[in-house]
Amino acid sequence: MSTAPEPAEVAALRAALNVSPGNNPLRLLLADALLKYNLFSAATAEFREGLRQEPRNMQLKFGLARAFHGDGKNAEAAVLLEDLLAAGTGPAAAHLLLARLLCENAELQKAAEHAHRARALDASAVDADLNARLEPFLRPLAAGDGRPLSQTENREVDAEGRVRMQAGDAPGTMETDIERPTVNFNDVGGMEQVKEQIRMKIIHPVAHADLFKAYGKKIGGGLLLYGPPGCGKTHLARATAGEVRASFVSIGLHDVLDMWIGQSEKKLHEIFEQARRHRPAVMFIDEVDALGANRADLRHSASRNLINQFLAEMDGLDTTNDGLLVLAATNAPWHLDPAFRRPGRFDHLVFVPPPDAPARAAILRVLLRGKPAEEVDFAKVAAQAEGFSGADLKGLIDQAIESKLTAAMQTGRVEPLTTKELLAACKRAKSTTLEWFSTAKNYAMYANQGGQYDDVLAYLKLHR
Amino acid sequence: MPAHLERARLLLATHRAAEAEREARAGLGEEPQSRELLHALCSALVEQEKWPEARATAQSLVALAPNWPDSFYMTTCVELEGKRYKLAEKAALEALRLAPNLVISHQNLAVCYMRQEFWGDALREAEAGLALDPENSGCANIRSFALNHFGRKIESMHSADSALRSNPENSRTHYTAGIVKLENGEPRQALEHFTEALRLDPNNELARKGLVEAMKAHNSLYRALLAYSFWMMRLSAGQRRAVIIAGVLGYNFVKNDSGLGMWASLICVVYFSFVMLTWVGSSFFDFLLLFDRRTRHALESRQRAGAVALVCCLVISALWFVVGVAGSVVDPFWALPILLYAIPLTRVFKNRDGWRRVTSYVVTVSLGLLLLGSLCLVATQTDQVLVLITLILLVIYMWVGRLLDI
């Protein structure tokens, strides 16, 4: 029996491998080339030989699974893939291949899980035929549609209407949850000026991407929200992601601290990469001054390395940040390293003031929802609560409720809250924004050479 | 390094004292004998200005680590803030004994001496610190202040300039340079330094006050007043009293027995005006600053209130005088007690500490009621004795208040 000659590419690779038979990367190239030319048996032999030398090499394992699949040995391929993915370190393509195999085996639920995982790891890992077959299992759940939550679909919706996908087990990825917020600007009371600024700087560029690209403008960049604590910066960032229907990756203070302690530039890079894989994506960094602290204030060189890594990620030096919007929030923008404010990074500053009177009334209305209250004049209470943050308003309500509870425990009856009681609580409560403004005023008066704190001056009705 | 300690230190470095306190306390729950965690806790309390807790924690730290210099650095800081200078000095001396070759030991001790106005000792310690680290801005600043106090102006300015060269981005260094320039009659340069100090640290209260003084010092009259104030500050408390008493005696002599004729009256008027100016000059020039957009907001609210109160008093006094001169309704002479009332009135807005503040309030309110009542009697031509008593009390206050600094 005569065998067909090998393609030239394969022959060349084999000749090279004969010279250095221990060169596994070369063997991998040869095996991939054999797969390309559908020479599955030969490919299988090469992958097996490679695994004999490097039993833990995932690429070789995956390659062998592909060779099995090509050779019609689906069962062996499936077993190998399950073994590969059980360690939690398989690539997206492995999940996708296993999804196909499971689908062919009529295990549609499990197939859908792996298809999800593939998509979570790599947005481009999509098989249209497979999706069509798995469509009933792939349709996302939304809050309130009556269907039960399914953990196996890797999506859950929390009480605030956030749809959250859990991070996949892709190799070397940080366990960061990707959200798809269902809130948008309609869910943010007041703050019309702030919302308009965000629309101009973030939302319109995404909505009219082609128009912006025609003028050479990139879609993406950074926006820094700053203001007193408890005024809705995080909620606003989430609503922005909802407006552009983007994925939402959130990094909090403790994530940052963990990165500091682990000196983990790699973790930071992985978070950015994960966000990039899910573009368009909004990455939100809360309390960004903890991550981007002025390098002059930090003593450890490792800390500076983390900041340098963050700056490099913002600049997208090794990759493009098109479609990646980075929102950050801080109560202390003046503590941020000046490098963060350079063009292309957080060069847009948006001051998020305490809620205005209509917003305060709306917040009070929401806070009192479901609680016994009797025809409360929200406008009047809101007018008394000038300068109160959302958190302060919650504190005010809590105080009023506590007083009411004390009375209710004596009478044994549920008494509704009244406007008078809320106004009395308002007098007792103190705004936590005052302290912030006394510091902010100093920065706005004396360290405002670039005009970055003009909004604070305007809010305080001061003039330069 | 244990995780809680590392997190606490990172939180302190990123100005999150409240979270740092929580981390430190959590760490201490696991390692109650950790001096580093206790130190971090104390630092967090100091940053939040929780002074009683900070003091107690510093004492615990000393008890836990009596041979660790950092325990005493922390104690020095806390005691200085509480104005317990002797205790601060004691802690600083102990830190110096434990770590004589660390510049911070000398710097801390120099600060203690400076706060107590022991300028010779402060200079000695600052120079000892600079011998260890010539670029230490803290010691350079203290040296500059001390040299200035001794009238060694050129050396003082060189010291300030040297500190600036080493640390151009240091707010305190600019503040020190500003004070030296201001005391040496260079308000324009002082203003630049105070402005820069505030740009670097907008929360630098001393620099803000310096900015206000530098703006006022653009006026030559205020500059003269400032020079007098700085000169008085260089004297000891006893020497200051002696100057005041000598002034009173001299005034009485010139007025009564000097034989200088009309010159005596002129000298008395000038002296009296000068004394009034030393009392109310600062508030008067604060009022002028209200018309400058740059400095209006640099004034504290109490400075603004004091300025407005002073001008109201002056205006009412002037009106009384003019009405009295124009018609015969009231005696224009009684404009004088109204004018003198400006002194305790402006003082109320300046005094901050404990008994001085309370005394100032009581004296001002009492004199105010007395003045109001007496002027009503005068206006209705019922009685003049009460207003005379009020005038005498106000004059007494001018001298006694100055001696007691109320």
Pick B107 or A303 by higher pLDDT.
B107
From B204, which residue of chain A is nearest by alpha-carbon distance?
A: A442
Q: For residue A222, report the phi and psi dihedrals to the nearest 5 degrees.
A: -125, 150
Q: What was the pLDDT predicted at A464?
A: 54
Q: If DSSP codes are grouped into helix, strand and coil, which group holds residue A223?
A: strand
Contact B200 A447 (CB under 8 A): yes
Q: What was the pLDDT predicted at A168?
A: 42
Statement: residue A454 has pLDDT above 70: yes
Residue A223: which of A294, A324, A90 has the closest Cα?
A: A324
Vertex A185 angle, CA A179 and A189, to 5°:
120
Stretch 167-206 of chain B: residues touching chain A, C-beta under 8 Å: 169, 195, 198-200, 202-203
Statement: residue A160 has pLDDT above 70: no
Pick B327 or A235 by higher pLDDT.
A235
Contact B202 A334 (CB under 8 A): yes
Tell me which of A286, A446, A456, A462 to substitute to probe the interface with B (most B C-beta atoms closer than 10 Å): A446
Statement: residue A449 has pLDDT above 80: yes
Give the C-alpha separation, A110 to A118, whole Å: 12
Q: What was the pLDDT predicted at A88?
A: 57
DSSP codes, A305-358: HHHHHHHHHHHTSSS--TTEEEEEEES-GGGB-GGGGSTTSS-EEEE-PSP-HH
Find out whether the peptide bond into A280 is cis, omega within 30 degrees of 0.
yes
CB contacts, 8 Å: B10 with chain A: 257, 260-261, 290, 303
Determine the average pLDDT of the residues in A173-200: 76
Contact A445 B297 (CB under 8 A): yes
Which of these ranges, A157-171, A386-400, B8-22, B55-69, has the smallest mean pLDDT? A157-171
Give the C-alpha separation, A322 to B160, whole Å: 50
Residue A97: which of A123, A68, A132 has the closest Cα?
A: A68
B6 touches A: beta carbon within 8 Å: yes
User: Which residues, given as ranges, of chain B have pLDDT below 50?
Assistant: none
CB contacts, 8 Å: B7 with chain A: 257, 261
Q: What was the pLDDT predicted at A311?
A: 82
Contact A290 B169 (CB under 8 A): no
A116 pLDDT band (50/70/90 cuts)?
confident
pLDDT digits (tens, 9 = 90+) for A194-220: 888 888 877 887 777 778 778 877 666
To the nearest whole Å, the CA of A258 is away from the closest chain B CA by 8
Exposed/middle/buried for B373, CB within 10 Å: 0-12, 13-18, 19+? middle
B18 touches A: beta carbon within 8 Å: no
Contact A368, A394 (CB under 8 A): no
B11 touches A: beta carbon within 8 Å: yes
Q: What was the pLDDT predicted at A411?
A: 85
Alpha-helical regions (H) of B31-152: 35-47, 51-64, 69-81, 85-98, 103-115, 119-132, 137-149
Statement: residue A163 has pLDDT above 60: no
Tally A–B CB contacts below 8 A. 57
CB contacts, 8 Å: B208 with chain A: 442, 446
CB contacts, 8 Å: B3 with chain A: 261
Q: What was the pLDDT predicted at A301?
A: 53
For B16, the closest of A290, A442, A445 (CB atoms) is A290
Contact A257 B10 (CB under 8 A): yes
A303 pLDDT band (50/70/90 cuts)?
low
For B14, the closest of A289, A447, A464 (CB atoms) is A289
A310 pLDDT band (50/70/90 cuts)?
confident
pLDDT digits (tens, 9 = 90+) for A242-291: 888 888 888 887 777 777 766 677 788 888 888 888 877 888 898 888 87
CB contacts, 8 Å: B16 with chain A: 253, 290
Contact A290 B199 (CB under 8 A): no
Tokens linked to A323:
């479609």
Contact B19 A296 (CB under 8 A): no
**A387, A392, A393, A394 alpha-carbon torsion, rounded to 10°:** 170
Q: If DSSP codes are grouped into helix, strand and coil, which group holds residue A397?
A: helix
Which of these ranges, A123-132, A452-461, B358-367, has the smallest mean pLDDT? A123-132
pLDDT digits (tens, 9 = 90+) for A55-97: 778 888 899 999 998 988 888 888 888 878 875 557 888 888 9
The ipTM is 0.79
Statement: residue A140 has pLDDT above 70: no
CB contacts, 8 Å: A252 with chain B: none
Statement: residue A367 has pLDDT above 80: yes
Indicate the average pLDDT of chain A. 80
